[in-house]
């Protein structure tokens, strides 16, 4: 009896998996996100996500890091810390923020905690840390990358 009841519940749940809700219209199935750590002790991390022109990408980052070897009470998230420094890869983005670029020679751009963009060039997606000195950094961020091709 217990097995029959559990089977009935399972069948009821499965019947809803393919059903569409009236409150939403599903455009496409989104594949699972690519999840990877972004260490802040190096300048760029190859995400392994290959982009073609027209791909839509959503990047969500989380985590916390220190720029003083973990000894400082000053901890920052992926949106970055204080100030703007012209000598950094993205001069108009906060220091210690997550940044990105497409290809090894692409123009760096600000990612922060959340970034959505359409690729205008093809190449590998790189994520990095907007800093000039990496030896004293401690920690890493986690990036969730969602890509859909057009």
> What CATH number has the domain bearing residue 141?
2.60.120.430
Question: Which residues share a beta bridge with 48?
Answer: none
Residue 97 domain-assigned (yes or no): yes
Per residue, the 3-state secondary structure of the chain, as one string, reads: CHHHHHHHHHHHHHHHHCCCCCCCCCCCCCCCCEEEEEECCCCEEEEEEEECCCCEEEEEEEEEEECCCCCCCCEECCCCCCCECCCCCCCCCECCCEEEEECCCCCCEECCCEEEEECCCCEEEEEEECCCCCCCCEEEEEEEEEEECC
pLDDT digits (tens, 9 = 90+) for 54-93: 999 999 999 988 876 555 557 788 998 878 888 889 988 9
pLDDT at 71: 59
Residue 7 domain-assigned (yes or no): no
Residue 6 domain-assigned (yes or no): no
Residue 27 domain-assigned (yes or no): no
Residue 116 domain-assigned (yes or no): yes
Residue 8 domain-assigned (yes or no): no
Domain span holding position 87: 34-148
> CA-to-CA distance for 49 and 131, rounded, in angstroms?
23
pLDDT at 125: 97
pLDDT digits (tens, 9 = 90+) for 1-46: 444 433 333 344 444 444 455 776 666 555 668 899 998 888 899 9
Report the domain count for the chain: 1
Q: Place 150 in a pLDDT band, splitting at 50, 70 and 90.
A: low
């Amino acid at each position: 009896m217990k097995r029959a009841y559990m089977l009935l519940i399972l069948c009821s749940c499965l019947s809803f998996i393919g059903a569409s809700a009236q409150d939403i219209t599903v455009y496409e199935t989104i594949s699972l996100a690519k999840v990877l750590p972004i260490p802040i002790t190096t300048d760029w991390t190859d995400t392994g996500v290959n982009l073609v022109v027209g791909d839509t990408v959503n990047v969500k980052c989380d985590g916390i890091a220190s720029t003083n070897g973990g000894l400082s009470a000053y901890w920052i998230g992926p949106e970055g810390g204080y100030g703007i420094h012209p000598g950094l890869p993205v001069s108009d983005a906060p220091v210690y923020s997550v940044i990105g670029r497409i290809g090894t020679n692409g123009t760096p751009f600000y990612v922060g905690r959340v970034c959505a963009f359409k690729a205008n060039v093809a190449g590998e997606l790189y994520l990095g840390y907007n800093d000039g000195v990496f030896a004293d950094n401690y920690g890493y961020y986690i990036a969730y990358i969602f890509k859909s091709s057009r």
